[in-house]
Amino acid sequence: MFHPRRTLRALLLPLAAGLAFTALPATAAHAASTLTNGGFESNGTGTATPTGWSTYSAAGQNAASFTEAGGHGGSYRLTHWSSSAYKVETYQYLSGLTNGNYTLTAWVRSGGGQNSAYIALKNCGSSEQRTDLPVSSSGWIRIVTSIAVTNNQCTISINSDAKAGNWINVDDLTFTSGKTGLSIKGSDVSSLAKSEALGGVYRNSSGTTGDALAILKSAGQNYARLKVWVNPADGYNNKTRVLAMAKRIKAQGMKLLVDFHYSDTWADPGAQTKPAAWSGHSYSQLKTDVYNHTYDVLNALKAQGTTADMVQVGNEINGGMLWSEGSTDNWSQLAGLLNSGYDAVKAVNSSTTVALHLAKGGDLSGTRWWFDSAVSNGVKFDAIGLSYYGYWHGSLYDFQTTLDDAASRYGKPVFVAETAYPFRLDSEDSHENIIDTTGELVAGYAASTAGQSAWLRDIMNIVEAVPNGRGLGVFYWESTWNAVTGNGWDPTDSSSGNGWENQALFGYDDKALPAMSWFGAHR
């Protein structure tokens, strides 16, 4: 495994042992109104205190912070590392700032395992803001943190509280005016109504039974996602059920994303089966079917005062939809179907955002090919949604690269339409979980409540860092899909199991899990 160990450690660690520190200075002699040496290029390798920066460690472990070769954009980077457990902070004090919003951007790598590792803005007159480093041992990841400066000063801080051998790399920091944040902090709750009808129970973190939507809302969720099937075998996720759940979602003050599958059952990269009622229809009739179905559901939502805020025309349509007529083998026909859906959405409410959704969160070339084809065929859309499951869709580096490219290449906002992560591996029911072995996990993220929390936190941080404010936010997939007898994967088989309960946001004791708190904790 990569780590930044250098022989420099043998020289600096004995020196650090003789130093004593009592408190982080409130200011520094080099205080300025602009960030100095954000790329750590001024001193070369082996510098414990780079130009413009100061280092602090209460235990005298300053030597755990140093520069070395191998930067993100230049020749050098800042590294935190030690052969023994350490706590160290590298910081820079800025003064003479015009009050207002500011954003710190940094490129980072981390081998993970620390008690904490983060960048921060503090002593700025408002509450300290932090962003934790994601686990990425090879690819550089861009992260940001924003704050309101109200006292004309601010401290930029890079912190590690680490075990022996843990490491981070940080490079190319910038401190600029403006702020970041996420407008979408949501989850898919499509299985909730059936779960409740079959006896499913939901509790807050204290164990008090309550409405799952209210618990999610109190944790900070501001958006909910519902799928729509045309004529499902079990009678759930159809128009009637969506209308009922939409009332509850809007009553909680949350926004609503409606996800059209254009099927009677699951539509995803492996299956885009036409509804039975449309099975013999011509391509021309299918365009009308898409328009009428989309308009019918959305207009009914509008009529009851629960207008959809966002709509997906299709679900994970990597290979198209309504196969075979709407396959990507025939882009002109797929474009016609997608535009029929778009037109129906706008006919109901022109301000509703229309998103196209792929399961290609870490696939740069695949996402480019798909949306290049869509654009060249005149497909209309307002936003791009990507599914990103780290155990299937590539590294966090791949994810950020794909997300950033989609936002810039097509000039559209982007969001994570689906993500999730396990908090344990064993099953609560007799059905084997989809992710149930350690070999399937993402390196650095355990199947634990802490690992699940870190995953959601880091996905939100990467979306927040999409340039030009084009990162809208994240939907956690099926946050309420606990193991309830009868609420399984197969709508035609009431005995089918779940397979997802170890990735829900409610535990096997039905209590809200810690990861849920990131809906409220994130900017």
Distance CA 283, CA 289 (A): 10
**Residue 67 binned pLDDT confidence (cut-offs 50, 70, 90):** very high
Residues 118-135, mean pLDDT to the nearest whole number: 98
284, pLDDT greater than 70: yes
The answer to whether 149 touches 126, Cβ cutoff 8 Å, is yes
Q: Which residue, 31, 32, 20, is CA-closest to 56?
A: 20
Q: Is the peptide bond before 177 cis (omega within 30 degrees of 0)?
A: no
CATH 2.60.120.260 matches 8-177: yes
Burial per residue of 160-192, b for 16 or more beta-carbon CB atoms within 10 angstroms, e otherwise: bbbeeebbbbbbbbebeeebbebebbbbbbbbb
Whole-number pLDDT of residue 1: 35
Q: Residue ranges per domain, the chain?
A: 8-177, 184-521
Give the tens place of pLDDT for each residue, 326-377. Answer: 999 999 999 999 999 999 999 999 999 999 999 999 999 999 999 999 999 9
- pLDDT confidence bin for 48, thresholds 50/70/90: confident
Mean pLDDT computed over 311-322: 99
| The model's pTM | 0.94
Catalytic residues: 316, 418
Check if the beta carbon of residue 439 is closer than 8 Å to that of residue 180. Answer: no
pLDDT mean over 455-478: 99
- What does the pLDDT read at residue 494? 85
Q: What is the spatial distance between Cα 385 and Cα 374, in angstroms, rounded to a whole number? A: 14
Residue 29: pLDDT band (50, 70, 90) is very low
Q: Is the pLDDT confidence value at 21 over 90?
A: no
Which CATH architecture describes the domain 184-521?
Alpha-Beta Barrel (3.20)
Contact between 310 and 383 under an 8 Å Cβ cutoff? The reply is yes
Asked whether 118 and 55 are in contact (CB, 8 A), the reply is no
Helix (H, G, I), strand (E, B) or coil at 521: helix
pLDDT greater than 70 at residue 24: no
Under DSSP, the state recorded for 97 is P
> Please, which pLDDT band fits residue 8 given cuts at 50, 70 and 90?
very low
How far lies 124's CA from each of 54, 120, 158, 179, in Å?
17, 11, 15, 14
* pLDDT-derived band at 496, boundaries 50, 70, 90: confident
User: What number of residues does the chain have?
Assistant: 523
Backbone angles phi, psi at 297, to 5 degrees: -65, -45
